Structure 1
Amino acid sequence: MTRWVALLPAEGSTAYDRADAAAGVLASSAGPELPGSFGGRGASWDLTSERPPAQVAAGLGLPGPLDAVALTPVRARTVPSPGPRVKRTLLLAVRPGTPEERVARLEADLLAMPAHIATIRSWALSRVDQGRTPGRWTHVWEQEFADVAGLAGEYLGHPYHWTYVDRWFDGEVPGGGIVEPPVAHLFRWSGRAVLVGR
């Protein structure tokens, strides 16, 4: 069973939300991106399945092609919380040739965020499985929030974010700048938990 993130056009994306009824699918959640998202295609689809998203979609008669990445978990935490939530997905690409020790420091700084930022509920950090889905993305950092304010306010504006995380994305910071622009910063509503069973 593999977790996948797929990028879709916004039109018709809610049909993918019902893919959890398909054979070999453990969980499915999809929906259009909210204003403020960038770098995607209009919607995102989170899928846990024995088959790749394109095969699941084709079996349901849903359109493709899909931009999808297979995820290899690094670490995750599920916090049970009922009701709707904002699912945020950050796809990023570490510059080729970056020493593994610096990649590990980036991952450690991302993984420390939930200890500092109270609005993060469930979260997951994954590496992209380049064997199954080769491409520019190397990592996917996901969180769930009670509302958009928890992401746009507390998360993005937190001093920990400015001090420890932003440097990895800024080529002007000595020792930082290992993440190549652009990134994909996507967030949407989900009526149920997305990051479960991790």
Structure 2
Amino acid sequence: MTRWVALLPPEQTDPYDAAGALPGVSGCSAAPDLPGSFGGRGATWDLTAERPPSAVAAELGLPEPVDEVALTPVRGRSVPSSGPRVKRTLLFAVRPEASDALVARLESDLLAMPAHITSIRSWALSRVDQERTPGRWTHVWEQEFADVEGLTGEYLDHPFHWTCVDRWFDSEVPGAGIVRPLVAHLYRWSGRPVLLDA
């Protein structure tokens, strides 16, 4: 099984959300992105399956996703919780000239966030499998929150975010700004856990 993130137009996500009933699909959740999201296509589809989202969509007679990435897990944690939650997905790309050492430091700072930011529940950091889905993204950083305020409040406003993580995304910070300026910051509601295999 592979975890995938796919970008969809915002209309009619329910048929994609129902793909979990298909053989070879162990996890599925799709919904429109909430206001404040940017860089996506209007909806996000999280899928754990033996085949790509485009193939699953074809089986259902649905349009293919606009973009899809296969994930290679770095590290994550699944925290049991019931009820709806906000699923946040950050897709980004490090610059090709960035050294392995700098990329490792960026990943380390991202992985340290849950220890400092209590609103983060489940989380996962993955690299994009470039052999299966070559494209513009290199990493996917995902979290689940109890509500929108957990993301837009404590997470985005936390001092650890601004001092230790944001510098990697700022090209004006000497020796740190290794992330390309194009990112996709997407968040939506999910009625069930998404990061079960984190």
TM-score, L = length of structure 1: 0.99
The answer to whether 1:27 aligns with 2:27 is: yes
CA contact (8 A) 1:27 1:49 kept: yes
CA contact (8 A) 2:53 2:64 kept: no
Structure 2 counterpart of 1:39: 39
The superposition leaves residues 121-142 of structure 1 with CA deviations (integer Å, 9 ceiling, x where unpaired) of 0000000000000001000000
CA contact (8 A) 2:106 2:165 kept: yes
What SS does the corresponding residue of 2:56 show, helix, strand or coil?
helix
Distance 1:156 1:42 in 2: 21
Structure 1 counterpart of 2:129: 129
| Structure 1 stretches of 4+ moved >4 Å | none
CA contact (8 A) 2:7 2:65 kept: no
CA contact (8 A) 1:4 1:70 kept: yes
Instruction: State the shift of 1:65 in Å.
Output: 4.4
The alignment-based identity, stated in percent, is 75
Structure 1 counterpart of 2:109: 109
CA contact (8 A) 1:120 1:150 kept: yes
What SS does the corresponding residue of 2:114 show, helix, strand or coil?
helix
Count residues with an aligned counterpart: 198
Letter in 2 for 1:35: P
What SS does the corresponding residue of 2:82 show, helix, strand or coil?
coil
Structure 2 counterpart of 1:171: 171
Instruction: State the shift of 1:104 in Å.
Output: 0.2
Structure 1 residues 1-198: aligned runs within 5 Å: 1-198=1-198
**Gaps (5+ residues) in structure 2?**
none
Letter in 1 for 2:165: V
Distance 2:5 2:55 in 1: 14
Distance 1:139 1:85 in 2: 22
Distance 1:142 1:174 in 2: 27
Distance 1:3 1:147 in 2: 23
Instruction: State the shift of 1:197 in Å.
Output: 2.9
Distance 2:107 2:42 in 1: 27
CA 1:5 to 1:65, structure 2 compared with 1: closer, same or farther past 3 Å?
A: closer
Distance 2:2 2:133 in 1: 12
Instruction: State the shift of 1:66 in Å.
Output: 3.2
TM-score, L = length of structure 2: 0.99
Distance 1:168 1:52 in 2: 31
The superposition leaves residues 107-156 of structure 1 with CA deviations (integer Å, 9 ceiling, x where unpaired) of 00000000000000000000000000000100000000000000000000
What SS does the corresponding residue of 1:118 show, helix, strand or coil?
coil
* Range 139-148 or range 56-65, more displaced: 56-65
The superposition leaves residues 64-87 of structure 1 with CA deviations (integer Å, 9 ceiling, x where unpaired) of 243100000000000001000000
